[in-house]
Amino acid sequence: MHLFFQELINGLVVGSLYALVALGLALVYGTMGIPNFAHGHLYMLGAYVAFFGVTVAHIGYWPALLLAVAVLAALGVLLERVVFRPLRSAPEVNAIIAAVGVLFFLQTLAQIWFGADFRVLPTPYDHVVHLGGFVATQQQLVVIAAAAVLMVLLFLFLKRTLVGATIEAVAQNRAGAALVGIDTDRVSMLVFGISAGLAAAAATLIASISLISPTMGFSVILKAFAVIVLGGMGSIPGAIVGAFILAFAESFGGTYVSTSYQDVIAFAVLAIILAVKPTGLFAKGT
């Protein structure tokens, strides 16, 4: 039973991480149809910005998180403008190829600047909390709480503000949105900014629990794709539900089945879903 609770906490932490990363991926896919394979590397860069914010600039934990979000949001906007906008009318695979180019660049940049060493982001929340019989670190609870707050804020932004409504409009029908006077180019940049910002927030939160390295983006991006396929490409609630399903499958599967094949669970889930339903679960129309 003790082990069960421990895995429950782990599942919630990992699920929060997957949800934040996958939300960004789903937003971009939903509004622009771009599977951004470089998303995991934006996440990686976010972790480094926060790391240097805390250890070199000494600006403190939360300001470092905000700095990472701001820097990566700016980079996301830049990517949309420079890389993905010129490819909007090109065949679908061209955007994937361009994303692979961005990914190569970012990973090499990180290797040059930061070296291949693994790092851990220092956190002020390093105490252990006892919650009636089982234990969690403060940082684990911070991850869960912060992710929940971010998800609620994103939801309110999309559903309750005019700017959020324009994003939804572009996602539903790009040409229609343009016809009613929405600046779709600006919406695209905004979406990329939010997407990269969310990835940076996720990376900063988890960087005190797992390790930072230039290749940390690779495993996360594939998990995030598994999540959004599970949740229906481009669906926001689907991404959140999918993230927690995958995280629990991994943490319990890792404990009770096999740790060396823990990482395969995500890809097996993804392959099975696409085999059964080629358009993904909960897909909006076809």
Partner 1 sequence: MRRLLWTAVAAVALALPLLLGNSFYLHILAGAYITAIAVYGLNVILGWTGLLNLGHAAFFGIGAYGVALLETRLGWSFWPALAAGCLAAMLLGFAVGLIGLRTRGNYFAIFTAAIGVMIATVFTNWQDLTGGNIGIVNIAPPSIGPYALDNDVAKYYLVVAALALAILICTLVRRSLVGRTFLAIADNESLARATGIDVARTKLVAFVLSTFLAGFAGGIFAMYQGNLDPGSSGLDITFEQLLYLVIGGIGTLAGPLLGTLVLVAVSELLQGIQQYRFLIFGPLLVLLVIFFPRGIVGVFDRLVAPKLRGRPVGPVGDAEAALR
Per CB under 8 A, residues contacting partner 1 are: 29, 33, 35, 83, 86-87, 90-94, 96-98, 100-109, 111-112, 218, 222, 225-226, 229, 233, 260-261, 263-264, 266-268, 270-271, 274-275, 278-280
* Short-list 44, 127, 33, CA closest to 87: 33
Q: How far is the CB of 54 from partner 1 (least distance, A)?
A: 27
Q: How far is the CB of 39 from partner 1 (least distance, A)?
A: 12
**What span, in angstroms and rounded, lies between the C-alpha atoms of 185 and 162?**
16
Q: How far is the CB of 83 from partner 1 (least distance, A)?
A: 5
Radius of gyration of the chain (CA): 19
Q: How far is the CB of 264 from partner 1 (least distance, A)?
A: 5
- CB-nearer residue toward partner 1: 21 or 201: 21
- CB-nearer residue toward partner 1: 111 or 161: 111
- CB-nearer residue toward partner 1: 59 or 268: 268
Three-state SS across 206-238? HCCCCCECCCHHHHHHHHHHHHHHHCCCCCHHH
Q: How far is the CB of 64 from partner 1 (least distance, A)?
A: 26
DSSP state of 161: S
- CB-nearer residue toward partner 1: 88 or 119: 88
**What span, in angstroms and rounded, lies between the C-alpha atoms of 201 and 43?**
8
Question: Which residues are within 8 A (CB) of 65 and not within 5 positions of it... i.e. 6 or more apart?
Answer: 50, 200, 201, 204, 205
